[in-house]
Structure 1
Amino acid sequence: MALNNSTDPTAHGTLWTRILSGFAISGLVIAVLVILVRWSGRRSLSAAGFTTASGDLRAFALGIASWSVPAVATFFVLRLLGNPLQIPVAAAEFWLVFGLIFFAVLLTEAIPEELVFRGYVSAVLAERLPSWWVIGVQTALFVATAVFLRGGVSPLDVSLFAAMGIVLGYVRLVTGSVWTAVGIHVAFQSASQLVFTHGIIEFGGSPELAMIALGGVPFTAAAILVSVLDVRKTRD
């Protein structure tokens, strides 16, 4: 927003600036991680959650779908109960803002955060700790980093970051791919920003109901879905 000389996080110019900044942020993170992997001499990019281009793309799509399907279903149930989602803008404006937010979140949040915490950090911890300790420690580091970067957060924010760290860490453990976590992360954060920050979606229910539909239900369902799918893939 400083680069764009705007205090409005919903402005198109601000979103474009986030996207351009995201290319630099994600590029820097990837470069540092590659250097660390090569410098260690005993790790590979696959240990940090990378597989093949096609495999990573499928894992990314799985992450988006495993979060989006239960979230849409939950909002549908809430609509039947008298709490509808409405789009008070033209379709062209909605899809433009949706696309800008999606890529802004992907490049400035989802890719760098997941590659660091659920990727490289989890891989290093897995060399020394049991699986559930890996999830717990990387979650603590993730929450501490978020609090530091934001200059302090509320207890509700801390609980949200902790829940994200645990679920995404578990997804990374089960699937073996960091890109499933990237998909869940970008879907959740994009939808949350659309509902709570931007005026192109209006929810008829309370913020608490919105958080259940955006957080509690789809995160729980996503963890179950990726576990079931991974078991089936292993059997096949």
Structure 2
Amino acid sequence: MIDHLFRLRRVIVSIMIILVSASLYWRLMLWFQQSYMKSGYSQLHHLLMGVTITLLVLITLYIAGRCSKENLKWREHRSFRTKLSSFITGFLIWLIPATFGVTLCITLGWSNVSILNTPISDMLLGAGLLMISVFLIEALPEELIFRGFVFKLLQSILPLWWSVVMIQTVLFSLFAWVIGALYSSEQIQFIPGFALILGYLRAVSGTVWVAIGFHTAIMTFAQFLGPIHGYVWIEGMKALQFTAFVLFPSALGGIFLSFIYPKPDWKGDMP
């Protein structure tokens, strides 16, 4: 009993240190952007912020792992090829159903997408840089923290379904609120569900890299289609976001994962 309490305390302290540190990193980047990048959106600034965030998070997770053997358990000892394959799987799990969803929305007249007067080469270059920036500033660091470090430590003291359904979803939503990401009613509705989806992908696949791929895909395309980049004009964006970006990838992606990965033990340890 005493050993369990000490273990519980170590897990809680480790998670709180990581979450507080991560919140400070993102708030610092936001302050820096508001204070010194007042000329509007810049892909270069976005990319540099991503590099900075990723380096800070990797250093923090490395130090946390060195401070306690228990914190080392979150690391995945997989080859680069396996991680890349899992990342691509997660990316396609979102992209293929989302493409079907976009086609359906346009066909039924729920949405309309018009490409603005931008050269294709510029759009492809912009999409590539945006994907790298999203990977560095959002997908990689956030997933390593929440579906990597936090998720695995929670699973050491809780059943898998508690880690997925309750705790990591609440912690991710709280983190989003602290860094200012819950700025609208749409975000308040989206963030908890997004955390639940990512946690489910992590639990079923047994690897954080599927969640990283999914996260990279959805946020890259969501931002690419936004007005700040000026590549496309969209009518009926809400229908597109709900149907193509969330509903179809969540439903079809979950079904697809159940075929290629073994069924997890929701009441016990995760792989």
Larger Rg over CA atoms: 2
**Counterpart in 2 of 1:193?**
223
Contact (CA 8 Å) 1:51, 1:177: kept in 2 or not? no
Contact (CA 8 Å) 1:4, 1:17: kept in 2 or not? no
Structure 1 residue 8 and structure 2 residue 40: aligned?
A: yes
Give the counterpart of 2:106 among 67, 79, 84: 79
SS at match of 1:196: coil
Q: Aligned letter for 1:150?
A: G
CA distance in 2, matches of 1:195, 1:225: 26
**Counterpart in 1 of 2:54?**
26
Give the counterpart of 2:45 among 4, 10, 17: 17
**Counterpart in 1 of 2:202?**
172
**Counterpart in 2 of 1:56?**
83
- Residues 80-229 of structure 1 mapped to structure 2, 5 A cutoff: 80-82=107-109, 83-88=111-116, 89-135=118-164, 136-150=166-180, 152-197=182-227, 198-229=229-260
Unaligned 5+ segments in structure 1 are: none
- Post-superposition Cα deviations, 1:111-134, rounded to whole Å, max 9, x if no partner, equal 110000000000110010000110
- Residues 36-55 of structure 1 mapped to structure 2, 5 A cutoff: 36-44=64-72, 47-49=74-76, 51-55=78-82
- Post-superposition Cα deviations, 1:91-123, rounded to whole Å, max 9, x if no partner, equal 012112111211111100111100000000001
Name the stretch that deviates more: 204-213 or 191-200. 204-213
Q: Aligned letter for 2:170?
A: A
User: RMSD of the alignment, in Å?
Assistant: 2.0
TM-score, normalised relative to structure 2: 0.77
Q: Aligned letter for 2:176?
A: A
- Post-superposition Cα deviations, 1:30-51, rounded to whole Å, max 9, x if no partner, equal 1211221222114536x34452
**Counterpart in 1 of 2:9?**
none
Q: Aligned letter for 2:136?
A: L
Q: Aligned letter for 2:186?
A: L
CA distance in 2, matches of 1:142, 1:43: 19
Cα 1:208–1:231 change in 2 (3 A) is same
CA distance in 2, matches of 1:56, 1:3: 37
Name the stretch that deviates more: 176-185 or 144-153. 144-153
CA distance in 1, matches of 2:162, 2:47: 34
Unaligned 5+ segments in structure 2 are: 1-32, 264-271
CA distance in 2, matches of 1:160, 1:153: 11
Aligned residues: 227
**Counterpart in 1 of 2:20?**
none
Residue 86 of structure 1, CA deviation? 2.7
Residue 231 of structure 1, CA deviation? 3.5
Identity of aligned residues (%): 29
Residue 151 of structure 1, CA deviation? 7.2
TM-score, normalised relative to structure 1: 0.88
SS at match of 2:262: helix
SS at match of 2:179: helix
Q: Aligned letter for 1:214?
A: F
- Post-superposition Cα deviations, 1:174-222, rounded to whole Å, max 9, x if no partner, equal 1111111010001000111122333212224342333321122212222
Contact (CA 8 Å) 2:101, 2:244: kept in 1 or not? yes
Contact (CA 8 Å) 2:181, 2:187: kept in 1 or not? no
Which of structure 1's runs of 4+ aligned residues deviate more than 4 A? none
